[in-house]
Amino acid sequence: MADDTGRFGVGAVHLGIPSRRQFFQLGAGAAAGWSLAGNAFAQSERPTNPPDKPRGQVVAALSQEPTVFHPLMPGIEVDQGVWWQVFSLLWFIDPAGNFVPDLAREVPTIENGGLSADGLTWKIKLRSDVKWHDGTPFTAEDVKFSLELINNPDFRARSRVGHSLVKDIKVVAPDEIHWRMEAPYSPYMSILGSLTFIVPKHILGKVSDPNASPFHNAPVGTGPFRWGERVPGDHILLNAHAGYHGKGPYVERVVFKYIPDLTVLYTQFRTGQVDYTGLQGILPNFVQEAKTLKGRKVVVSSTSSVEHIAPNLEFGPFADRAVREALYLAINKQAIIDALYYGLPTQTESFVPQQAWSFQQGLPQHKYDPAKANALLDAAGWVRGTSGVREKGGVKLEFANSTTSGSAVREQTQQLLIQDWRAIGAAMRVNNMPAAVIWGDFWQQSKFNSVIVGVNFMLGSDPDVTPRFGSGAIPAKGGRGYNTYQYQSAEADRLLADGAKQFEIAQRKTTYGDLQKLIRNDLAILPLFQGFIAEGVKEGLQGFRPNINTSINCWNIREWYWA
């Protein structure tokens, strides 16, 4: 796959496979184990003869409207679809998991002198042939400005995780920048390579309010496409950037079409009004039909999201591990996958995607075994009451399960769970809410009993899950993070602390492997399956490559062209 991104130079080729020792060599290929179901498709669809000049346009349909165009502010996946076209990163993570240099000339490693042995000093060499869309040359000052902007207290930055450790930024030359880290933090390589897009100092350095300026609605970047127009509620049009520093783009225009209803989105793909169905793709119930459409292709690929049942571990019955195990055993996972998701996703036991280098093989496999579940509860002292619901010490084995209302397949999943769990004397009731409600305080402050949710636990391609499972990351207890499960484990904390400062891949693999075993053993979450997305691509459109390391598969429209 390395040569597929060869336009970024030799770095892409050489960084394909991580070497043995240093993490930051791994950094260059941190997720070297990534591979995709969709890659087979991608290989056969790779550009063979892209046009000499950009030709034609691509209409990409999205079910949510991109509205945030400043790439360092809080945004959602659809916004990233635009960021990837307009802006550039220092390096990005390709589908195979390699860090590929973009604005940087090479990915810093200890071997090439880009990183000190203790991981505290970073020296980045930058390309000198890059220009902003308005013709201004890109320099190290832009990188310095971007990192400082993130840490500016007045700026509404998305996140400062990792960035807050960056100190003493020095522009050594227009094409070289150095900085020091307050503490070693290995996931920072991935953070820089996933969503830390570089913004222009010559424009944003002059605005009085960093949170509101004309740039926010007409961004200027160094990416393959220039801002064209936005018709709110309808579409965003981007034009090819002729002076792009990489290969491509091969189409003249990209139109992001906003179609909120997934049935309507699919219909427009069917009638040929859109060329590609991006987030949230094609509904599972349409996938089989979509595969039979003439002139259309359907690509089903894995995502980093793990669909799971999130128990609130501080809630009565769920505090008992035996209950969690019994509930897990009583779930007929395969029935859910086959009947409701048309067999498209695959079961998983970990919070790490199965394609990741850090994925731990050989975790205990889930088995649907209601008899064992019943026996487990009997042994743990959960006795069936007259109503058939078990109880222990005055605590009944009954609880609510919540998910986003209107999410039809998850609502059907809940119906199957009710039946599965009733068989072992557990009473579940449904308490669904709109997205804006459930993912607010209800979720963040752990006010739920249990929730069905899909979460991408990875930081780019890094398995550091401190914000999700660290004891200090429980918001309901004043922590900084997203440990809404309220999972607390001294052993997990130790492993997380170790992993974040380890440099050797083998060491990290062991550490995060142990963490996965621990989480699986504790059943901090009840994993159902690894997320997937079914996307439609019009025949003749070349270059589509699903990338599990990005949140949106239209990350590389610069490589797309019409055959």
Q: Which residues bind to another protein, rule: CB under 8 A?
A: 57, 59, 65, 67-69, 74-76, 154, 156-161, 191, 195, 211-212, 216-217, 231-235, 237, 253, 255, 257-261, 263-264, 267-268, 270-271, 273, 433-444, 453-459, 467, 473, 475, 479-482
Closest separation between CB of residue 439 and another protein, Å? 4
Burial degree of 63 (CB within 10 A; 0-12, 13-18, 19+)? middle
Closest separation between CB of residue 355 and another protein, Å? 16
Q: How many whole angstroms separate alpha carbon 247 and alpha carbon 413?
A: 45
Select 168 or 229, whichever has its Cβ closest to another protein: 229
Select 235 or 333, whichever has its Cβ closest to another protein: 235
Closest separation between CB of residue 506 and another protein, Å? 25
Select 169 or 433, whichever has its Cβ closest to another protein: 433
C-alpha distance from residue 143 to each of 47, 170, 174, 192 (Å) = 32, 10, 10, 11
Burial 334-343 (b: 16+ CB within 10 A, else e): eebbeebbbe
Closest separation between CB of residue 388 and another protein, Å? 33
Select 265 or 300, whichever has its Cβ closest to another protein: 265
Q: How many whole angstroms separate alpha carbon 265 and alpha carbon 499?
A: 42
Closest separation between CB of residue 20 and another protein, Å? 28
Beta carbons of 402 and 438 less than 8 angstroms apart: yes
Residue 25 in 3-state DSSP?
A: helix
C-alpha distance from residue 467 to each of 84, 162, 188, 358 (Å) = 25, 12, 14, 17
Select 104 or 310, whichever has its Cβ closest to another protein: 310
Closest separation between CB of residue 64 and another protein, Å? 9
Select 109 or 483, whichever has its Cβ closest to another protein: 483
Select 52 or 154, whichever has its Cβ closest to another protein: 154
Q: How many whole angstroms separate alpha carbon 380 and alpha carbon 323?
A: 8
Select 480 or 494, whichever has its Cβ closest to another protein: 480
Beta carbons of 225 and 83 less than 8 angstroms apart: no
Closest separation between CB of residue 406 and another protein, Å? 10
Closest separation between CB of residue 225 and another protein, Å? 15
Select 330 or 526, whichever has its Cβ closest to another protein: 526
Select 259 or 337, whichever has its Cβ closest to another protein: 259
Closest separation between CB of residue 486 and another protein, Å? 13
Rounded (10°) angle between helices 370-379 and 321-329: 160
Q: How many whole angstroms separate alpha carbon 534 and alpha carbon 540?
A: 18
Select 150 or 534, whichever has its Cβ closest to another protein: 150
Closest separation between CB of residue 223 and another protein, Å? 19
Closest separation between CB of residue 74 and another protein, Å? 5
Of 524, 461, 456, 462, nearest in space to 492 by CA? 524
Of 94, 147, 523, nearest in space to 349 by CA? 523
C-alpha distance from residue 554 to each of 31, 59, 78, 169, 502 (Å) = 20, 11, 10, 33, 33
Tell me, rounded to whole angstroms, the distance of Cα 283 from its chain centroid.
Answer: 20
Closest separation between CB of residue 67 and another protein, Å? 4
Strand intervals (E) in 3-113: 57-62, 91-93, 99-101
Dmax (CA) for the chain in angstroms is 78
Q: What stretches of 7-127 show up as alpha helix (H) in DSSP?
A: 10-14, 23-28, 39-44, 77-86
Select 424 or 459, whichever has its Cβ closest to another protein: 459
Rounded (10°) angle between helices 262-270 and 284-291: 10
Closest separation between CB of residue 234 and another protein, Å? 4
Select 382 or 532, whichever has its Cβ closest to another protein: 532
C-alpha distance from residue 519 to each of 321, 334, 435, 514 (Å) = 12, 22, 27, 9
Radius of gyration of the chain (CA): 24
Q: How many CA atoms does the CB half-sphere of 145 hold within 13 Å? A: 17
Burial degree of 384 (CB within 10 A; 0-12, 13-18, 19+)? middle
Tell me, rounded to whole angstroms, the distance of Cα 193 from its chain centroid.
Answer: 12
